[in-house]
Amino acid sequence: MSSSVSSVVNGGISFWYADDGFPAVREPLGGDASADVVIVGGGYTGLWTAYYLKQAAPFLRITVLEQKFCGYGASGRNGGWLYNGIAGRDRYAKLHGHEAAVRLQRAMNETVDEVVRVAGEAGIDADVHKGGVLEVATTPAQLARLKAFHELELSYGEKDRELYGAGETAGRIRVADAVGSSWTPHGARLHPVKLVKGLAAAVEALGVTIHELTPVAEIRPKHAVTPYGTVRAPYVLRCTEGFTASLKGQRRTWLPMNSSMIATEPLTDEQWESVGWDGLEALGDMAHAYMYAQRTADGRIALGGRGVPYRFGSRTDNDGRTQAATIEALREILVRFFPSLAAVGIEHAWSGVLGVPRDWCATVTLDRSTGLGWAGGYVGSGVATTNLAARTLRDLVQLDSGQGGQTELTGLPWVGHKVRKWEPEPLRWLGVQGMYATYRAADRRERVTSSAESSKLAQFADRVAGRH
Ligand SMILES: Cc1cc2nc3c(=O)[nH]c(=O)nc-3n(C[C@H](O)[C@H](O)[C@H](O)COP(=O)(O)OP(=O)(O)OC[C@H]3O[C@@H](n4cnc5c(N)ncnc54)[C@H](O)[C@@H]3O)c2cc1C
């Protein structure tokens, strides 16, 4: 391992907290209580839901229950890609027709602007820069996938997406061996923790009650049960994403998939000169085990990808601690992309979990017979999707309580989607390990062959995993 990796700050939730500081923790629940709506989980989903519900109906008594502190989960650890991707769109097109999926995609495009707009309105400075998303191909097989992906996105109405050759790609970001890229304007980079801290403060200022250090052990119709008391409410909304398995009865609902990140030291002007990236695009690639990265407001590269994909028994990480091998693997991606940065120091590494449903489709639901609602399963595309989910939960609660009617959002194809649970262990563990081992092998093979055909191995893994 290189010396630059051995000195890394490991875990501590995420680099974003090291940069912006931890918030003061709010009081836990003090005993039994009642509310009109109780929201379990203080990440983007829970907080946006509280925000929009309270804006729509200021008289509602809304309580958020958070096991640690708001932003402890993926919302305080992500790559800060605010973009228009939504997990499951292509499956929703098959299930509900192309036009329905076009509506979903249009809603996602608008959601990127909604987050930027509302964050601005609420006075949240989250280092937002709307430079779009640039996804690059570095092998012939990746290029073939990139072109197919580009065409697919156009077919969902994204007319402003652009396809670049090697020269135009280098004009934006000088990724070694890049043979092409696809750019969409529907994306922004942001500072995840500034957003989640700002949101929690905005929600509280609106009059929502937030209890932290309050783990919910069980959700039942009209009840959220904690060690300190039970909150009763007609609506109980589960917004726990990658942590959902820890709730009673939810062990196999969404698989907690791990994603890991590193942040470099701030680059010098000469180093930025060698890299380009003046447009501050969110950067990704077309590998099967893909990477994602941003140029941070303070001049670092924050880069993520899949490390150990999944822990046996749906366990989550320990405050973001990351295996040395994963840190090294991410550093290798950084250096493969930008060989001129071989000597740059890695300052921080961390991990987090995201929720993966059995069919890899994000969903938002309110069961009108029980008042139980939930949103999640975003599979790593949640920074924007959480906002769309929250506005949809607002509309569903309004509809059910007679405060509103059907809306464009309640008619989107991901609303009310149901899927079977994951297999019991050890099948779950074996399946996910096998899938990612196959992806990595497929990526390695594609890097050394001139064939434009995607590895059959990866296609097989996709089918077995239920992705396509
Ligand atoms: C490393 C990493 C990088 C990512 N990068 C991107 C990206 O660049 N772009 C993108 O679009 N998406 C990204 N994602 C995904 C995105 O961050 C998530 O989809 C999104 O933050 C989900 O928000 P959430 O509120 O649903 O879940 P979370 O942010 O995980 O919030 C859930 C909250 O619920 C709390 N909780 C859990 N269980 C309980 C309980 N029993 N009782 C009380 N509270 C509970 C948790 O403590 C947590 O605060 C990334 C995820 C990770 C892990």
Residue from 14, 70, 75, 228 whose mutation best tests the ligand 1 pocket (most atoms within 8 A of CB): 75
- The confidence score (pLDDT) of residue 47 equals 98
**Domain architecture of the chain: domains with CATH:** 129-188+256-358+425-465 (3.30.9.10)
Return d(Cα 432, Cα 424) in angstroms, integer.
12
58 Cα: distance to centroid of ligand 1 (angstroms): 26
Tokens representing 263 are 């942040």
What share of the chain has pLDDT > 70, as a percent? 97
- The confidence score (pLDDT) of residue 310 equals 75
Answer whether residue 2 shows pLDDT above 60: no
- The confidence score (pLDDT) of residue 451 equals 81
Return d(Cα 281, Cα 294) in angstroms, integer.
7
Return d(Cα 181, Cα 138) in angstroms, integer.
9
- The confidence score (pLDDT) of residue 407 equals 98
Q: Note the pLDDT tens digit of each residue in 334-346.
A: 999 999 999 999 9
Residue from 63, 67, 237 whose mutation best tests the ligand 1 pocket (most atoms within 8 A of CB): 67
449 Cα: distance to centroid of ligand 1 (angstroms): 37
Tokens representing 258 are 């791990």
Answer whether residue 466 shows pLDDT above 70: no
Answer whether residue 4 shows pLDDT above 70: no
Q: Which atom of ligand 1 is nearest to the CA of 47?
A: 25
Residue whose entry in the numeric block shows the structure tokens 């890229």: 181
Least confident of 69-73, 328-332, 446-450: 446-450
- The confidence score (pLDDT) of residue 431 equals 78
The angle at the Cα of 63, spanning 403 to 222, to the nearest 5 degrees, equals 70
- The confidence score (pLDDT) of residue 164 equals 98
Distances (CA, A) of 459 to 103, 454, 466: 28, 8, 11
Q: Which atom of ligand 1 is nearest to the CA of 215?
A: 42
Average pLDDT value over all residues in the chain: 94
Answer whether residue 440 shows pLDDT above 50: yes
Answer whether residue 463 shows pLDDT above 90: no
| CA dihedral angle for residue 190, residue 196, residue 202, residue 203, rounded to 10 degrees | 140
Residue from 350, 378, 385, 393 whose mutation best tests the ligand 1 pocket (most atoms within 8 A of CB): 378
Beta bridge partners of residue 38, listed in sequence order? 63, 236
Element spanning 231, H or E: strand 229-232
Q: Note the pLDDT tens digit of each residue in 191-215.
A: 999 999 999 999 999 999 999 999 9
Return d(Cα 248, Cα 235) in angstroms, integer.
18
- The confidence score (pLDDT) of residue 350 equals 97
Return d(Cα 396, Cα 401) in angstroms, integer.
9
Q: Is the C-beta atom of 383 inside 6 A of ligand 1?
A: yes
Tokens representing 456 are 């059959």
**What average pLDDT does range 314-318 have in this prediction?**
80
CA–chain centroid gap for 305, Å, is 12
413 Cα: distance to centroid of ligand 1 (angstroms): 23
DSSP 41-64: --SHHHHHHHHHHHHH-TT--EEE
Q: Is the C-beta atom of 66 inside 6 A of ligand 1?
A: yes
Q: Report how many helices (DSSP H) and strands (DSSP E) the chain contains, helices first.
A: 13, 21
- The confidence score (pLDDT) of residue 3 equals 43
Residue from 47, 243, 255, 259 whose mutation best tests the ligand 1 pocket (most atoms within 8 A of CB): 243
Tell me the pairing of strands 62-65 and 133-137: unpaired
Q: Is the C-beta atom of 73 inside 6 A of ligand 1?
A: yes
**What average pLDDT does range 2-17 have in this prediction?**
82
Tokens representing 188 are 């922004």
Amino acid of residue 467: R
Q: Is the C-beta atom of 261 inside 6 A of ligand 1?
A: yes
Q: Is the C-beta atom of 307 inside 6 A of ligand 1?
A: no
Q: Which atom of ligand 1 is nearest to the CA of 79?
A: 8
**What average pLDDT does range 287-312 have in this prediction?**
90
Answer whether residue 1 shows pLDDT above 60: no
- Which residue has its alpha carbon closest to ligand 1 atom 2? 78
State the pLDDT confidence band at 464, using cuts at 50, 70 and 90: low
The most distant pair of C-alpha atoms in the chain lies apart, rounded to whole Å, by 65
- The confidence score (pLDDT) of residue 328 equals 95
Return d(Cα 468, Cα 146) in angstroms, integer.
17
Answer whether residue 90 shows pLDDT above 90: yes
Asked whether the beta carbons of 41 and 211 are under 8 A apart, the reply is no
DSSP 363-406: EEEEETTTTEEEEE--TT--TTHHHHHHHHHHHHHHHHTTS---
Q: Note the pLDDT tens digit of each residue in 403-435.
A: 999 999 999 999 999 999 988 878 777 778 888
Residue whose entry in the numeric block shows the structure tokens 């969902």: 156
Q: Is the C-beta atom of 164 inside 6 A of ligand 1?
A: no
Answer whether residue 399 shows pLDDT above 90: yes
- Nearest-CA neighbor of 137 among 282, 278, 283? 283
**What average pLDDT does range 368-389 have in this prediction?**
97
- The confidence score (pLDDT) of residue 5 equals 60
Answer whether residue 275 shows pLDDT above 50: yes
Instruction: Give φ, ψ of 202 to 5 degrees.
Output: -65, -40
Q: Is the C-beta atom of 347 inside 6 A of ligand 1?
A: no
- The confidence score (pLDDT) of residue 458 equals 75
Q: Which atom of ligand 1 is nearest to the CA of 376?
A: 26
242 Cα: distance to centroid of ligand 1 (angstroms): 6
State the pLDDT confidence band at 33, using cuts at 50, 70 and 90: very high
Q: Which atom of ligand 1 is nearest to the CA of 80?
A: 8
Residue 294 half-sphere exposure toward CB, CA atoms < 13 A: 25
Residue 72 CB neighbours (<10 A): 24
- Which residue has its alpha carbon closest to ligand 1 atom 41? 216
Q: Is the C-beta atom of 198 inside 6 A of ligand 1?
A: no
- The confidence score (pLDDT) of residue 53 equals 98
Asked whether the beta carbons of 37 and 397 are under 8 A apart, the reply is yes
DSSP-derived 3-state class of residue 153: helix
Residue from 383, 392, 393 whose mutation best tests the ligand 1 pocket (most atoms within 8 A of CB): 383
Comparison of pLDDT for 321 and 460, the residue scoring more? 321
pTM of the model: 0.96
- Nearest-CA neighbor of 381 among 94, 89, 18, 50? 89
DSSP-derived 3-state class of residue 419: coil
Q: Note the pLDDT tens digit of each residue in 333-377.
A: 999 999 999 999 999 999 999 999 999 999 999 999 999 999 999
Q: Note the pLDDT tens digit of each residue in 122-166.
A: 999 999 999 999 999 999 999 999 999 999 999 999 999 999 999
405 Cα: distance to centroid of ligand 1 (angstroms): 30
- The confidence score (pLDDT) of residue 435 equals 80
**What average pLDDT does range 43-66 have in this prediction?**
98
Asked whether the beta carbons of 72 and 13 are under 8 A apart, the reply is yes
